Copies of this chain bind each other. A is one copy, B any other.
Amino acid sequence: MRSDATVATRNSRTATDALAHAKAFVQPELDAAVRRISPELRAAVESQLAGGGKFMRAALVLLSASACGADERVALDGAVAIELVHNFSLVHDDIIDGDLERRHRPTVWAQHGISSAIIAGDALATVAFQVLLEVPTAERASAASLLADATQAMIAGQALDMEFEQRSSATLDECLEMVSGKTAALLRCAACLGAVLSGAPDSTISALWEFGHHVGIAFQAVDDLLGIWGEPDVTGKPVGNDLRHHKKTLPVCIAISQGIELPSGYTSSTGTEVTDREVDEMRERLEKCGARQATIDLGERHVRDALAALGRISIPSSPLAQLSAIANYVTERDR
C-alpha cells in the first residue's frame, strides 16, 4: 500500500508533527485540568499522565475542528477531555488486567494500590466532563453527550473483553464488536468532537465519525500485533501479556475462525496459567497459519476505509493531509 519509502517517511513526519503539536498545545490545559483533582490523588493521577502517551486522540479532536474550517482553539477543551477519558480507561484497565507496566513505568495500581487507582481513575473521568461543560453552551452539551456515549461504548467493549477471557473461543465478528467498543469508540468520538464543537453540519460529523471508527479498528489490529510480536523495549509493555491473559485478540480470533487448534492451556478458562512455552507456541502457530498477516491486512483495509470516508467531504488541504497521515501512521507505528 505504501511501497514508496519516501512517501512513507514524509507521511510519518506529518503525523508525528501533528501529534507533537497536539501535545504542546494540549499539555498545559491538561495540567490545569488535573489541578482540579484532590491533592490526595494528585500523585496517582500524575504518575499516569507522566507516561506521556501519543496524544493521538487530542490531535484528532483538534484536526476535526480545522477540517471544518474552525479555529482549533474551539476544540481545545474537547481535546483535553478526550485525553482525560483515555487515561481514566487505562488506569482502570490496568487494574482489571493486572498489568504491572505501561509506557515503561509501573502502572498506577502497581505503584499506589488498587483503591487509589480506582478513585484516581474516577477523578480523571469526572474532570473530563467538568472541563467540557464549564461553559454550558448547547454545542458543548452535544460534545459532552457524544463523549459520554463513547465512554459507555468503551466500557461495554472492555466488559466484552473480560467476558471473552473466560471463554475458550470467540468469533471474528464478536472480536470486532469488542474492538469497536474498547478502542474505536473513543477514536471515532475524537475524530468528530472538534466538528461538533464547531457546530459543523451532520454530514461532516458523520464522515469524520466513520473515519475515526476505521482508524480505531486499524489501531487495535496493530496493538494486537505489537502485543504478540512487538519489542517490549519500544512498546513499554511486557510482550505476550495478551496471550498470558487468554485474550481473544484479532490474530487469535482469526486463527480460531480458520479452525486452527490452540494450545489447551490457552482455550481453557482464565485462571489457568498459560506457560511461557505455550506463549511461544501460540506465537508460532499464529504466524504459520497466516493470522499475523491477515491481521496486518485487516488493519490496512481499515486505513483505506478511513481515507475513503474523508474523501466524502470537503476538507482544507492541511488538516486533510494531517488526518490522512495519522491514519497511515497507525499501521506504521512500532509502539
Contacts and interface: CB of A to CB of B under 8 A. Distances in A.
Interface of A: 36-38, 40-41, 92, 95-96, 114-116, 118-119, 121-123, 125-127, 129-130, 133-134, 136-138, 140-142, 144-145, 148-149, 151-152, 155-156, 158-160, 162-163
Given A40-B156, A133-B141, 17 more contacts: A37-B155, A38-B160, A41-B156, A92-B118, A95-B114, A119-B162, A122-B151, A123-B152, A125-B126, A126-B152, A126-B155, A133-B145, A136-B138, A136-B141, A137-B141, A138-B138, A140-B141
A131 to B, nearest CB: 9
B159 A41 contact: yes
A95 B115 CA distance: 8
Nearest to A129: B148
Contact of A163 (B40, B114, B145): B40
A155 B96 contact: no
A186 to B, nearest CB: 12
Q: Tell me the dominant secondary structure on chain A's binding face.
A: helix
A38 B155 contact: yes
A152 B119 contact: no
A156 B114 CA distance: 17
A37 B153 CA distance: 9
How many copies the complex holds: the figure is 2
Contacts of A119: 92, 96, 155, 158-159, 162
A153 B321 CA distance: 42
A92 B95 CA distance: 13
Contacts of A151: 122, 126
A115 B41 CA distance: 21
Contact of A95 (B37, B118, B148): B118
17 contacts: A37-B152, A37-B156, A38-B159, A40-B159, A41-B159, A115-B162, A121-B122, A122-B122, A122-B151, A125-B126, A126-B148, A127-B148, A130-B149, A133-B144, A134-B145, A136-B141, A138-B141
A92 B122 contact: yes
Contacts of A138: 136-138, 141
Nearest to A122: B155
Nearest to A130: B148
A96 B118 contact: yes
Question: Which of A92, A130, A137, A145: most chain B Cβ within 10 A?
Answer: A145
Contact of A148 (B41, B133, B152, B162): B133
B137 A152 contact: no
Contacts of A144: 129, 133, 136, 141, 144
